[in-house]
Structure 1
Amino acid sequence: MAEGKAEGKRSVAGKIATPKTGVTPATSSAPPMMDHLEALGKSIGARIKITTAAPHSQTYEGTLFTYCPILHIVAIDTRSASDQTISATVPQPGDYRMFPEKQIQSFQLLSRAKGGDAGHGTLATAQPAIRRVDIKRLELRAKVKIDRLKEEERDNGKGVSKEAQAIFDSLKRINVPIRWHNQEMIAHDAIIISPPYRGEDCKGSQDKQEVLNRVKRVLEGERKKLKEKDDRDRKAATPVGPRKGG
């Protein structure tokens, strides 16, 4: 009898440990939900019904927009089928919802995509229309981004103090043509600003004295602004003690 009870306990434990896949229809031989979703992902444009998992279980009906096999996310357009067929030529805005795989309890295929099974012919009829990718525009955007990152790297002084970088950034911000050469700043491709980057640390050739004087004035003005800002920040960060005498 004891052996029978032990066997019964093992049977119950096995039932509890068996996870539910949440697939409709549910069978003991059904593959995981991901396999079903990947199969469904081949029918872009099909009408489906999705039920989300507890505790906030809800049911949504819509047109399958896409399934991402990498992120395991399903996206549907919840507009009614009649709304989507009002105009076959003018793209209509969709009402899209995305569902991570783990939030899907079950789904039901209501109707196949128009234009054939397995997604054949659905890209040409998708709403909104799926247009050809402009490769040249993407390459231009990538080049602009790379150039900006290279400029940021060049503007980042190597082996300089935080104060020196702040001075450089301040001059750059007011459109002074400036670049680093080791730990020295070169302004207007003519004026050398050496550490510690004061007005008297600026040097230029004899024929660049006007530019030199202008760089000195601008540099001292920016240094003054930075000092005033540092003083305000330190004052704001200083804790105020309790007042004496109530």
Structure 2
Amino acid sequence: MADTKRNNTIAGKVAMPKTTDGAQAALPDTHEAIAKAIGARIKLTTVAPQSQIYEGTIYTTDPITNLVVLDTRLASSSTDPAKVKEQPSDFKFFTIARIQHFQIVALASGDHTSESDVASARPAISAVNLARLEKRCEDKVRELKEQERNRGRGVSKEGQAIFDAFKRINVRVHWHNTQIIAADAVIIKAPYRVEDCVGTKDKQEALIRIKKVLEGERRKIREREERERKDGTGTGASTPTGPRKGG
């Protein structure tokens, strides 16, 4: 009898949330109780040994994973609701097993007298920042166009690797058919060796610099290929295999 009484007391503590005016919602278990309070603001206490108290709005629950999602952004009765919605959400996830008990602080409708309001409460949908979405879309399109411009057509894999290496060290390069134009002054023809670099007489300083950079990058490619062969992880990505077909 003592054990039964103690278990009932614990179950009541966990499963029956209290509102701020002392009323209790007679709900069968913790998950159902929280699910019926979606949109309400609650105080939630986690179990020991790291027991902590969190306050926030119940965003959603998942009966399959037994998760509760709480939006813990700050709010108070004196805060302008419009300003509260402007605050960025701060979501925290809890498993039902981690919840010792919870207390309803405020219903979503602001009415503390009706249990039906708890069941029908829903979090408000935040406004969509269209300007930010458009900017993200434009940035992504710009990124994809840049990737397309940097992709050589009909070039060897080694040629593409050399082009990408120049880009990584911030040397201006672009493709002209299968030729790499470096620093707007030097032409690097296939198969992209140091002796394949060409520059006009007035661009000899740039030609010398590009040759040194190209020699260093080709050496790095060879060393990387050698390491990959020894490790057995080589993919042959930088090994010349003849022109690629298509675009």
- Matching residue of 1:217: 208
State the Cα deviation string for residues 144-190 of structure 1 (Å, max 9, x = none).
13312331343244565554233212333454442235543244678
Higher RCO, 1 or 2 (CA under 8 Å, sep at least 6)?
2
CA distance in 2, matches of 1:218, 1:41: 65
Contact 1:171 1:219 in 2 (8 A): no
Distance 1:219 1:197, change over 3 A: farther
Using structure 2 for the length normalisation, give the TM-score.
0.52
Separation of aligned partners in 2, 1:153 and 1:66: 45
Number of positions where the alignment pairs a residue of Structure 1 with one of Structure 2: 193
CA distance in 2, matches of 1:174, 1:51: 51
Q: Are 1:75 and 2:70 an aligned pair? A: yes
Aligned match of 1:64: 56
Partner Cα distance (1:159, 1:66) in 2 = 56
How much is the aligned-residue C-alpha RMSD, in angstroms?
4.9
2:238 aligned partner = none
Residue aligning to 2:242: none
Q: Counterpart of 1:41? A: 38
**Partner amino acid for 1:219?**
I
Among 186, 190, 195, the alignment partner of 1:195 is: 190
Name 2:239's counterpart in structure 1.
none
Q: Report the counterpart of residue 24 of structure 1 in structure 2.
A: 15
Q: SS of the residue aligned with 2:212? A: helix
Deviations 1:85-139 (A, max 9, x none): 6x74798x99x7723335444543343248614598986xxxxxx8x55321331
Q: Does structure 1 residue 170 correspond to structure 2 residue 165? A: yes
1:108 aligns with 2:108: no
Q: Give unmatched runs, 5+ long, in structure 1.
A: 1-19, 124-129, 240-246
CA contact (8 A) 1:49 1:59 kept: no
Indicate the percent of aligned positions where both proteins have the same amino acid. 28
Show the counterpart of 1:148. Answer: 143
Structure 2 counterpart SS, 1:217: helix
Deviation at 1:24, TM superposition (A): 0.5
Unaligned ranges ≥5, structure 2: 1-10, 18-26, 112-116, 232-247
Distance 1:74 1:179, change over 3 A: same
